[in-house]
Chain A
Amino acid sequence: MDIKLYFTITASLLLKKSAEINRFPQLRFNILLSSQTEITPDLYMALASMPNAFIITLSDELFENDADFSAVLTHLYLLIATGKSSCTANVVPVFSHTKTYQQNPLQADKISTYLNQQGIHDVELPVFFHAGPAAQTVQNYSLLKLESLSENIADVIGNFQSCGSSTLIHFNEEIMDLVLLDNFRKQFTFNEKSGLDNGVKELDIEKEELAVEIMLWKKRTMLYQNFLSLSKEVQEKEYYDIIDWYNHEYEILPLWYKQLGHIIKVIMGKRSFRSLFSDNVKKYKD
């Protein structure tokens, strides 16, 4: 199974690194939002300008922010919308500091309903615990907590045997060097069992994007077909609207008035004089 790695990064670190992030387009990020104050215009700009796929994770404080939850929802949707050009999962993980934390079903429902109403369907909201075990799996998603980048990669891979298709990597020490993070990603994508290198893995991601594109083109073909069948119906209505307009605006006038109108057209140079007496001559100028 292909596992997508999302490296957890705080909003403030993302802003610090936004200038160099473009150099590492293969890195996928899990943006951890802890408070509303982190959601600034600069964060929007940084997310909108980076080519990387990302997901947004809410801290439990933000998730339980009853006082201004509608603002949280608005930000959440818009932030997700800045990164929806690539095939990212419809998931909003929640990171809790409390081991016994129980996700408030009302808040979860509010998020799913809101995103659904905005057109992001079937959103999953897995809860992970900061104080919990090093590897946690909820639904199709996993969290792997690592002390530092220097951890033995073989052990790390070992921990992935039962992981979900998307795995959030969280380093306890803040990673300031994106080169190291990218190297970690490259090491991970080397598949020991098959001997395939990371280039092949990257092709897998491209293959997935291609599958999405094919699906979109198929949908688009259907849409144009619908337009064709609809256009007949609409244009027929437009035709009858014009006929209706003609009947009400012109046909209803008395014959003598219409004949006088044609003479006025000749006087104004908008119709040829000879056309008043013969149907075989050209009526109007091109």
Chain B
Amino acid sequence: MITRHKITVLYHMFYEDTYEKVCAELEPLLLFDTTFLFNICQETPGKKLISSVLRDKFPGCIIIFTSNKGKDIGAKLALMELFLQLQIAADYILLLHDKKSLQALKSATWKKDLLKIISAKSIQKSMDIFCESNRYGIVATNEYIINEPFEEGHFSGINGGILKKLVQTYETTPATYSFIAGTMFWARAKPLRDFFKRYDPLEIRKELEDGNVLDNFSGTITHSWERMLSWIVTSQGYLIKGI
């Protein structure tokens, strides 16, 4: 086991047929000092089977079951609260979920690309990036580092109105408005821990939309928090590094 780095995985599972794939995807992380926290959607059939497979594969993992609120963002906020309550001493947090985006044309490649960050090679690379420079707070798949449109002091994208309120309320003013689309990335634990000790993740989760909300046609609080999860880190002076 590579014990130098303490990693905590926050993994949300929504689909009933992804658990075997998830186990395979996460296998490289077993070589590290990793704590696995899973959330299985309350509405997912076969939760007992899924949780027993996860417990067999990842002994000591903790599983919670929450309603479909704020999609993977709501689940990750619940897992973040669990992370804080368990007082886990992690150096790095890995945010993941069993993304399918069935409605999208390019759904198959999305997940594959986003999961590049947990290949055995990429895990080591990510650790090296964090170790080499304290400036980097997030490591993610290069192609999914997106710039939120910001023109003349205003967010001009579909989520603009909500984002304006959120950055004011939560005092997140990063140097650039880059974020990780798909919310699967490595982050230093400290900035996330510091932020969520100040702002209760479950209080944030309360505000998120129920069900499988999409932002293809109008802005949503959930998709705004997708951006905020990156900005929490970058507003504390850290940079995003693409791999």
Contacts and interface: CB of A to CB of B under 8 A. Distances in A.
Interface of A: 41, 44-45, 48-49, 70, 74-75, 77-78, 81-86, 114, 117-120, 209, 213, 216-217, 219-220, 223-224, 226-227, 230-231, 233-235, 237-239
Contacts of B205: 118
A225 to B, nearest CB: 11
A85 B200 contact: no
A118 B69 contact: yes
Contact of A238 (B66, B104, B210): B104
Contact of B62 (A44, A85, A223, A230): A44
A84 B65 contact: yes
A78 B69 contact: no
A85 B47 contact: yes
Contacts, number: 99
Interface residues of B, number: 38
Contacts of A233: 103, 216
A223 B78 contact: no
Contact of A48 (B63, B81, B87): B63
Nearest to B205: A118
Nearest to B55: A49
Interface residues of chain A: helix, strand, loop or mixed (majority): helix
Given A70-B200, A75-B85, A234-B104, A45 B62 contact: yes
Interface string B200-227: 1010011000101010110000000000
Contacts of A49: 55, 62
B214 A48 contact: no
A49 B65 CA distance: 13
A208 to B, nearest CB: 13
A219 B206 CA distance: 23
Nearest to A215: B45
A238 B106 CA distance: 10
A119 B103 contact: no
A85 B51 contact: yes
B206 A117 contact: yes
Contacts of B216: 233-234, 237
B200 A74 contact: yes
B64 interface: yes
B48 A216 contact: no
A82 B69 CA distance: 16
Contacts of B210: 119
B64 A78 contact: yes
Interface stretch (B3-11, B36-44, B125-133, B139-147): B36-44
A56 B240 CA distance: 42
A147 B46 CA distance: 39
A90 B229 CA distance: 31
B117 to A, nearest CB: 25
A77 B202 contact: yes
B43 A44 contact: no
Contact of A220 (B45, B64, B78): B45
Contact of A235 (B45, B64, B65, B103): B103
A217 B78 CA distance: 24
